[in-house]
Structure 1
């Protein structure tokens, strides 16, 4: 299915549940506890993380492959530990996803 194609509600709900389950698995691995996990329409980015601990993912992410989803999930969850993209953030991202550059390109 191409990006921007519409999914039926059952397919979207199943995919959303799977994405949220993946977020919970990664949160446990990283040792963070997001207060809320949301999936909603976002036009400018794949995901966001609030200082209050809410992580929100674009519904368009459901149309992407599992490897790309994983990069986005880990990226956002790490923001619960490190709010910026400095050296510590990059080091943690590389530790959890050492092969992420091949996926993101």
Structure 2
């Protein structure tokens, strides 16, 4: 669905998902600039357009913020000296020669990548593998920790999976399965915990209604500040 706003046209990805008890239209602007719309299954296009017309200025302003941030993002070349992130801390990338298997390790303020070839693709693949391994460990540990705070998952942890996603940090299926973006491991711990609790709250409220946000407020009172911080980091911590 595309709606005009001033001299621009804004594309919306509308999702109607059976089984979700949604009663209103919710709009989300993702860090990559995608605009997602969750709508009731019974809502027709005219009703959705009417609801979106009331949010056009807000959506346009968010997209402008993302556009401004992208102006300051450098194209990654995977060479020594570039900035990379792990748990919110900035490290310098250091590419080293290696005749054996690729190896990645933290040393002081450096993230060292030892590869047989200094080809950028070889460095990127080594980094991606290392980040996924760290994500599996760190996100698993944080999930165990935050689940102890939430009564509805304290005794039975949800099933989880890692998947590279370009429009979101995590998701929760109607069946209660969490999917997490391994890029989360590059963000600060408070951002990781916020995403985990956000998705776990969907096990109680599978929508973005006021009831959902009331639940989220109860366990992460500062979630709006943390979300703003995470969205601001999205371009910076991307590989």
Q: Which residue number corresponds to residue 63 of structure 1?
A: 186
RMSD, aligned α-carbons: 2.2
TM-score of the two chains, using structure 2 as the length reference: 0.40
1:67-98 CA-partner distances (Å, limit 9, x unpaired): 11111111000001100111111111111011
Q: Give the structure with the larger helix fraction.
A: 1
Bigger drift between 33-42 and 43-52 goes to 33-42
1:29 aligns with 2:149: yes
Aligned with residue 92 of structure 1, among 215, 219, 230: 215
Report the more deviating stretch, 62-71 or 72-81. 62-71
Name the structure where strand makes up a greater proportion of residues: 2
Contact 1:34-1:54 within 8 A present in 2 as well: no
1:50 pairs with 2:170: no
Cα pair 1:40 1:58 within 8 Å, conserved: yes
Quote the Cα distance in structure 2 between the aligned partners of 1:77 and 1:29. Answer: 11
| Runs of 4+ residues over 6 Å off in structure 1 | none
TM-score when normalising by structure 1: 0.83
**Relative contact order: is structure 1 or structure 2 higher (C-alpha 8 Å, sep ≥ 6)?**
1
Unaligned stretches of 5+ residues in structure 1: none
- How is 1:1-16 mapped onto 2 (pairs within 5 angstroms)? 1-2=84-85, 6=124, 7=127, 9-10=129-130, 12-16=132-136
Larger-gyration structure (1/2): 2
Work out the number of aligned pairs and report it: 104
